[in-house]
Amino acid sequence: MAMLTVRNIPEEVHRALRARAARHGRSTEAEVREILQAAVKPKGRMKLGSLLAEVGNQVGLTEEEKTVFDSVRDNSPAQVVDLDDPA
């Protein structure tokens, strides 16, 4: 897990963070993690597969055409790439 240090936070922001954390029953650190996660990974975001399915619906793909796409989809797990390997 990564570590992050944030410097020069105004005192009023720090007080507001502590108060918000207390309202949610969390430490200030846990509250900051929650805020950051919500900011960069919103719950309502559309995932790529859902976006592509929506595009398919908008262009009017038939069920037969959708079946063709499903039959060629590669569902195998992604392979880890070793960027340090010179091969």
Portion of the chain with pLDDT greater than 90, in percent: 37
Angle in degrees, CA 20, 32, 16, rounded to 5: 30
3 state DSSP class of 3: coil
* Max CA separation in the chain (angstroms): 61
Q: pLDDT digits over 44-80, tens only?
A: 777 787 888 888 888 988 888 888 877 877 778 878 8
Number of H helices, E strands in the chain: 4, 0
Q: Can you give the pLDDT at residue 87?
A: 67
Reading the block at residue 66, the tokens are 């959708």
